[in-house]
Amino acid sequence: MHTEGRDIAASLSGAGVRFGDFTALKDITLDIGAGEFWTILGPSGCGKSTMLRLVSDLVPPATGSVEIFGKSTEAARLAREFAFVFQDATLLPWRSALKNVELPLEIGRKRGIAIPKGDRTPRELLELVGLGDRADALPSEMSGGMRQRVAIARALVCQPKLLLMDEPFGALDEMTRDRLNLQLLDIWRETGTTILFVTHSIPEAVFLGQKVLMLMAHPGRIKEVVDIDLPYPRAISLREAPEFNAYCSQLRRLLEEC
């Protein structure tokens, strides 16, 4: 399934995570190719979020190893090779949209740490997510969807090669979610970054991903990787297509087996 010779963004081999006696993830072996869009599905408690936290050096592996672009997760974190988008936008409420996007450029500057700067300025990134005219707005003056777009712009400011997204649109209404899905696909195409996207929505997983990673619970482990063979650019109308629905039914069956 994995072609040889491709660049690997994240490589997990036999990786497991334990919280005390509880095994959150067990024996995860997986290569994620650079530039690919992966979505992660699974029943609740199967370790979807934990998997992103493992890759982003927020939790250490209890067994096995994780490498990001051939480096340790810590080295990748220090080099800002990945960025994280949380379910809640996690903006600092006293900072304007623009100042929130600039935050990653400020952290570590006084300590003389080399911060990778992207091709786009924070202002250009706000324009990319369609918020160029709201640069001075405070988070409290924006809707949930707008705040999440600011969070995405902030994640892109150091031009990460890997973008980890933990149910970023889970708390939004259906229409906002559709719009942000399309926008995210545009951003993915334009930046060429690798995306790992956790969701609990089967249609969202199929609509966005090239590959769907299905996890199962107790303990969290890989159930299956499903290639989604649908062409990009994808439009909302794709949801009506029989192939799309066939993928959804296949995944729903897999989810029921978990």
Partner 1 sequence: MAMSEANVARASAPRGLTAKDRNRLINIAIPVGTAVSLLLIWQAGVRLFGVPQYIAPAPTDILSVFVSEFPLLMRNFWPTLIESLAGFIVGNLAAILIAVAFVHSRLVERAFFPIAVFVNTIPILAIAPILVLIFGPGLTAKVVIAALICFFPTLVNMVRGLQSVSPQALELARILSASKSEVFWKIRLPTSLPFLFSALKIAATTCVIGAIVGEWIGANVGLGALIIESTFNFRSPLLYATVFVSSGLSVVLFAAVTLAERFIVRW
Tell me how far, at minimum, the Cβ of 57 lies from partner 1, in Å: 8
In this structure, what token pair is assigned to residue 74?
């810590």
Distance CA 258, CA 256 (A): 5
Contact in structure between 151 and 85 (CB atoms under 8 Å): yes
| Residue 87 or 250 having the CB closest to partner 1 | 87
What phi and psi values does residue 14 have, to the nearest 5 degrees?
60, 25
Smallest gap from Cβ 258 to partner 1, in A, equals 27
The amino acid that residue 64 corresponds to is G
Binding site for partner 1 (CB under 8 A): 53, 56-58, 77-78, 80, 82-84, 86, 88, 90, 92-94, 103-104, 106-108, 111, 113, 138-141
Closer residue to partner 1, CB minimum distance, 34 or 115: 115
Tell me how far, at minimum, the Cβ of 86 lies from partner 1, in Å: 5
For residue 124, what are the contacts with CB-CB under 8 A and spacing of at least 6?
none
**Distance in Å, CB of 107 to partner 1, minimum:** 4
Residue 141 phi/psi, 5-degree rounding, is -95, 5
Q: Are 203 and 124 in contact (CB under 8 A)?
A: no
Q: Least distance from C-beta 212 to partner 1, angstroms?
A: 25
**How much of the chain is helix, strand and coil, in % rounded to 5?**
35, 25, 40
Tell the smallest beta-carbon distance from residue 154 to partner 1 (Å).
9
Task: Between 156 and 216, name the residue whose CB sits nearer to partner 1.
Answer: 156
Q: Which residue, 62, 74, 49, 91, is CA-closest to 196?
A: 49
* Residues 6+ away with beta carbon under 8 Å from 134: 97, 126, 142, 146
Q: Which DSSP helix (H) or strand (E) runs through 222?
A: strand 221-227
**Whose Cβ is closer to partner 1: residue 85's or residue 206's?**
85
Q: How far is the CB of 144 from partner 1 (least distance, A)?
A: 15
Beta carbon nearer to partner 1, 14 or 108:
108
H or E stretch covering 248: helix 242-257
